[in-house]
């Protein structure tokens, strides 16, 4: 496997040249005086070093050794505790955390780049700080001042970790069915009882305490999702002076044996009248948890991007070195017995597909992260509302499309290696196994597509979509003729999605099945259109500079490939959507 190198040049390009994020931050009072170009550059540089040197070398060994469970305790692979300590000491767990409680206070557009680096270096390792950061978001937004003061500083510092406990064996996506109970106590605490499954980082040896955010129901809770509350349940109780007290009755019953992410502990967690504290309002737990999950869903999308980036770095190095056959145009490396496989058209197709997907995904995830920053920090109510609506619309696309392309790019990277990609030695098969979970957790990609189509498109009457489409049209209108090779196909793609959106909205009025039937293909058509917007913006930032630096020539070449070979996928996707739901229900279920 090639040594991981953080794509810092591309990150700088997206942040500084494509989106000019410094201008956005200067208009957000909470960031204007605390974030500057020098600080961001230092953060990116240092994150690149720590992930490449301390964490990436552990990836293969961590996969082979995995986590181990014994007597309710979980041990992580060799080197993980030491690497986590190094990572925590650098302040990376709290890079986006509230400075009031010891976080760095960086905007999401910056922390998103750090997330990519940590997940490229080791997806399994990156899950531990990711869950902690997400838990901190919910605590900081919804918990009482006392809980924030007691827990956030140690979580931002990495001394304590966090987990998110939603799923139960009988209740996956349908959280309204959960059975975990919380009984109120005279001192204001609660006794939480129940069993949760698939809990990432529910138990491990990386930190001295683990803070679980647990969904449970109060005795008088209404039925369904409206009766869910959120509770903070620590592994060890915390004394008034901040020291650790007695062990809470929270135990790990087992860990899952999985397809991938072997070094990430996926736990069955048992809560036996464990002491917990209410976060937010009673029966409003889903709202509090979704504050975390919107960040986590973007984070999972970034995991797909990160895996694709690692796969591409491996594949491009291999394609330049591996000698096999001659170019269709004749020998290119005449001093060698064969040409490097990068001369072959199909290898170039695979590499360019990976490159276009990764760089488009980096731009798109940064765009969504910037909207999160505006929604969180702007003092302009209209700007906050617009950003909130864009985040609502684009989060399911970011989660599902980036991870679907993440699997495609890791498989393509494996394919570049041929038979060598199927054996463990080169690391490509691990990337395929690891990235597969990203399409499943934090809401399967089918659920994300239903969310986009049902809640965000149909639910808003198309208003959220129009907001995004109008922005793209404004960009096209403001672009000069020199960008026409990109803006013309982009305009056609927006027109196509306009028509597709209107078609589904009309059909859904008469047949609710049309929403689910259209959802996955619609999300992909949306994703390719959104990436076209990102690539047009990147092309605009690179145009005219291609003779100054090879980076810009590469960017324009990849943009042209995207518009020529990947954007046309929208036509088959649109045809599938317009085929309607009828063919899905032609057969009785007994005929399956």
CA 384 to centroid of chain Cα atoms: 22
CA distance 562 to 538: 12
- Cβ neighbours for 297, distance < 8 A, ≥ 6 positions apart: 395, 396, 398, 399, 442, 443, 448
Closest CA to 319 of 302, 298, 343: 343
Residues found in the chain: 592
Measured distance CA(108)–CA(19) in Å, rounded: 14
- Looking up tokens 């394919």 gives 415
**Distance in angstroms (rounded) separating the CA atoms of residues 124 and 18:** 31
Which residues make Cβ contacts (< 8 Å) with residue 467, sequence separation at least 6? 386, 389, 390, 393
Phi, psi of 239 (to 5 degrees): -75, 165
442 catalytic? Reply is: yes
Copy the structure tokens of residue 267.
Answer: 């736990």
Which of the following is catalytic: 116, 442, 514, 521?
442
Measured from the Cβ of residue 474, the count of other Cβ atoms closer than 10 Å reads 10
Distance CA 115, CA 372 (A): 15
Eight-class DSSP state of 340: B
Q: How many helices (H) and strands (E) does the chain have?
A: 19, 11
Residue 397 CB burial class (10 angstroms; 0-12, 13-18, ≥19): buried
Pairing mode, if any, of strands 181-184 and 73-75? unpaired
Whether residue 365 contacts residue 398, with contact meaning beta carbons closer than 8 Å, is answered with yes
Provide φ and ψ at 426, rounded to 5°. -95, -10
Catalytic sites, residue numbers? 442
């Amino acid at each position: 496997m090639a040594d991981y190198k953080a794509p810092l040049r591309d990150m700088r390009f997206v942040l500084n040249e494509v989106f000019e994020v410094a201008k956005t931050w200067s208009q957000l009072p909470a960031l204007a005086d605390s974030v500057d170009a020098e600080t961001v550059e230092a953060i990116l540089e240092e994150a690149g070093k720590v992930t490449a040197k301390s964490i990436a070398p552990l990836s293969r060994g961590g996969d082979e050794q995995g986590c181990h469970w014994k007597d309710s305790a979980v041990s992580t692979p060799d080197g993980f505790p030491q690497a986590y300590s190094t990572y925590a000491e650098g302040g990376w767990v709290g890079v986006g955390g509230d400075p009031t409680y010891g976080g760095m206070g960086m905007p999401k557009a910056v922390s998103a780049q750090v997330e990519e680096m940590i997940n490229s270096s080791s997806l399994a390792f990156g899950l531990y700080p990711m869950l902690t950061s997400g838990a901190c978001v919910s605590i900081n937004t919804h918990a009482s001042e006392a809980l924030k003061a007691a827990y956030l500083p140690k979580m931002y510092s990495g001394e304590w970790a966090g987990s998110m406990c939603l799923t139960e064996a009988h209740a996956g996506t349908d959280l309204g069915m959960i059975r975990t109970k919380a009984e109120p106590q005279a001192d204001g605490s609660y006794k939480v009882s129940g069993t949760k499954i698939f809990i990432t980082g529910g138990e491990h040896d990386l930190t001295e305490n683990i803070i679980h955010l647990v969904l449970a129901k109060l005795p008088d809770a209404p039925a369904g999702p409206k009766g869910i509350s959120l509770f903070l349940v620590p592994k060890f109780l915390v004394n008034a002076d901040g020291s650790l007290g007695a062990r809470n009755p929270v135990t790990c019953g087992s860990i899952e044996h999985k397809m991938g992410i072997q070094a990430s502990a996926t736990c069955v967690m048992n809560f036996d009248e464990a002491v917990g504290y209410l976060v937010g309002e009673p029966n409003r737990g889903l709202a509090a948890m979704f504050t975390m999950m919107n960040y986590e869903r973007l984070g999972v999308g970034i995991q797909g991007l990160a895996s694709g980036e690692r796969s591409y770095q491996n594949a491009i190095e291999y394609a330049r070195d591996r000698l096999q056959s001659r170019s269709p145009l004749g020998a290119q490396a005449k001093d060698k017995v064969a040409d490097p496989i990068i001369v072959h058209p199909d290898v170039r197709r695979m590499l360019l597909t990976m490159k276009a997907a990764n760089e488009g995904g980096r731009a798109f995830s940064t765009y969504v992260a910037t909207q999160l920053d505006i929604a969180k920090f702007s003092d302009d109510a209209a700007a906050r509302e617009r950003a909130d609506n864009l985040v609502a619309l684009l989060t399911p696309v970011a989660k599902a499309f980036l991870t679907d392309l993440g699997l495609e790019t890791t498989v393509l990277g494996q394919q570049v290696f041929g038979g060598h990609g199927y054996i463990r030695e080169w690391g490509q098969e691990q990337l395929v196994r690891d990235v597969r979970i990203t399409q499943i957790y934090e809401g399967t990609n089918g659920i994300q597509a239903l969310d986009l189509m049902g809640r965000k498109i149909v639910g808003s009457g198309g208003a959220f979509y129009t907001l995004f489409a109008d922005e793209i049209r404004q960009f096209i209108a403001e672009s000069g003729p020199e960008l026409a090779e990109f803006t013309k196909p982009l305009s056609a793609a927006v027109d196509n999605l306009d028509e597709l959106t209107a078609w589904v909205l009309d059909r859904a009025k008469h047949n609710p099945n049309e929403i689910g039937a259209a959802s996955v293909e619609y999300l992909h058509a949306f994703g390719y259109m959104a990436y076209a917007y990102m690539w047009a913006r990147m092309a605009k930032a690179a145009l005219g500079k291609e003779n100054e630096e090879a980076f810009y020539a590469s960017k324009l070449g990849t943009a042209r490939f995207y518009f020529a070979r990947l954007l046309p996928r929208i036509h088959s996707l649109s045809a599938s959507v317009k085929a309607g739901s009828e063919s899905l229900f032609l057969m009785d279920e007994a005929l399956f």
